[in-house]
Amino acid sequence: MSGGVSEASGARQGANARGPGIPAHSEGPRYQGVDNLEIMEAAHRYRAFLVGSVTDVVGPPEQAGRLLDFGSGTGTIARPLRELGYNVVCLEPDPALRSLLTNDGFETSSSLDDHEPESIDAVYSMNVLEHIDDDAGTMATLHAVTRIGGRLVLYVPALQSLFSAMDRKVQHLRRYRRRPLEQLVTDAGYRVDRCRYVDVLGVPAVLAYKAFGNKRGDLNRGSVATYDRIGFPVSRAVDRITGRALGKNLLLLATRP
């Protein structure tokens, strides 16, 4: 069982990162779920959905300005955005992953403290916030570096009842519900434009993974690829009906007023 299309994809921060802005350290926090990130490279439709979630909000590259990938991981989302012509800055606290991104030609940073106030036109963060102890403080710092009128695209795992061995392996601290997530973002100073559950078929997939999957939290590349090819497109179609109530993830769009 793959647990649907895993939340170990896209971008993430180490769970041992502390406080708003994930302060940089000499060695930096190390992420333990890199093997799952690599397996998620097989989820092509899922990755295209996440990339499209950003481009739909920020508009064409010539209008989008400076994008901050908050918790870039291996660059799963940053690379296709750059290929489309977007100016992406990668924030990644893990020193090995950050070095990989730097060597690939990205402008990188290890902390929000590296960015001036109102210096970013749009922030996107995919499967990251659930790793951070002080998610409220981090949201407030993200708000501070976003320019007035700038956008936020936030994607997180949903529903604490789905917490599994995979969550523990990749160092998730929590999963979110829609109303509390909206309140968290609003309290940071953003205006929430939209927040919906995503990947409703991933819910029974994760429940099956919890019941019958391995206890180490590992993913199976073949299962991930199969769900991505068959299950995820169907799930996205059903999300149009269930998005207000149920799904494996939450997608939130917001603006700094």
- Tokens for 161? 């009842």
15 lies in a domain? no
57 lies in a domain? yes
83 lies in a domain? yes
- Residue 253 has, within 13 A of its CA and on its CB side, a CA count of 12
23 lies in a domain? no
The residues facing 194 across adjacent strands are 253
* R_g of the chain computed on alpha carbons: 17
H-helix or E-strand spanning residue 121 = strand 120-126
62 lies in a domain? yes
Range of the domain at 233: 34-255
- The domain that holds 202 is classified in CATH as 3.40.50.150
In whole angstroms, what is the distance from residue 143 CA to residue 154 CA?
12
In whole angstroms, what is the distance from residue 188 CA to residue 149 CA?
15
Give the tens place of pLDDT for each residue, 167-207: 999 899 999 999 999 999 999 999 999 999 999 999 999 99
221 lies in a domain? yes
Give backbone dihedrals phi and psi of 220, rounded to 5 degrees, phi first: -105, 120
Q: Coil, strand, or helix at residue 103?
A: helix
88 lies in a domain? yes
Do residues 255 and 151 make contact, with C-beta atoms less than 8 angstroms apart?
yes
Give the tens place of pLDDT for each residue, 140-153: 999 999 999 999 99
Q: What is the pLDDT along the chain (257 residues), one digit of tens a residue?
A: 345 655 654 444 433 333 334 333 335 555 555 566 667 777 899 999 999 999 999 999 999 999 999 999 999 999 999 999 999 999 999 999 999 999 999 999 999 999 999 999 999 999 999 999 999 999 999 999 999 999 999 999 999 999 999 999 989 999 999 999 999 999 999 999 999 999 999 999 999 989 988 788 887 888 889 999 999 999 999 999 999 999 999 999 999 99
Structural domain count of the chain:
1
In whole angstroms, what is the distance from residue 124 CA to residue 143 CA?
12
9 lies in a domain? no
